[in-house]
Amino acid sequence: MTIGNAKDTNALLMNASVDIAVVCEPIGHNDYTYRPYYEDRLVAIAAVDAPEAQAEVFNLEALSRRVLLTREPGSRTRLAMERMLEAHQVQPFRVMEVHTREMIRETVARDLGVSFMFARECPPDARIRVMKLALEPALISVSGYIACRTERRRHPAIRRALDLAETLSAG
């Protein structure tokens, strides 16, 4: 099992280094089979004692006074965040690139900046406040899929993973 950004995960799947992968926004290639797995939304995260953490809904204007912690290029989180900021014409005070979700959470917990993550990627942490974004769902939502190479979809373990994804997404 490995965890990577969207670009790395798609590359592993394409070169058959992994049997199945959880991907966002499928690459749409006939050599791959996809099953819907989950829906998720961006949320804002800040240290619990940060001024913006007192609100239920994060105000994007707060970014003009704060350091924005962002993932590396190629990350779906970063792409969704950039799309959201561009649509609302928001310019952060400063941007700092951090390469893993875990590092972003630690940096946020120490109140060195604020960030955005998908809600499913935010495990409970008493040091961090998770806030909703009152924005158009199309700007902050993502769909996840279980993907495999089509020629391998009949392998028992892969078929079971695809069936589970279908069951979970229906429920």
DSSP 55: S
Assess whether 137 and 55 both reside in one domain: yes
Assess whether 112 and 100 both reside in one domain: yes
φ, ψ (nearest 5 deg) of residue 154: -90, -5
Task: Please name the amino acid found at residue 137.
Answer: P
Assess whether 152 and 83 both reside in one domain: no
For the chain, how big is the Rg over CA atoms in Å? 17
pLDDT tens, N- to C-terminus, the chain (171 residues): 777 777 788 788 888 889 898 887 776 777 888 888 888 999 999 999 999 999 999 999 999 999 999 998 878 889 899 999 999 999 999 999 998 889 999 999 999 999 999 998 888 999 999 999 999 888 888 888 888 888 888 999 888 988 887 887 776
Assess whether 69 and 26 both reside in one domain: no
> What is the domain range of residue 100?
40-141
- What's the structural domain count of the chain? 2
Whether 1 is in a domain gets the answer: no
Assess whether 106 and 49 both reside in one domain: yes
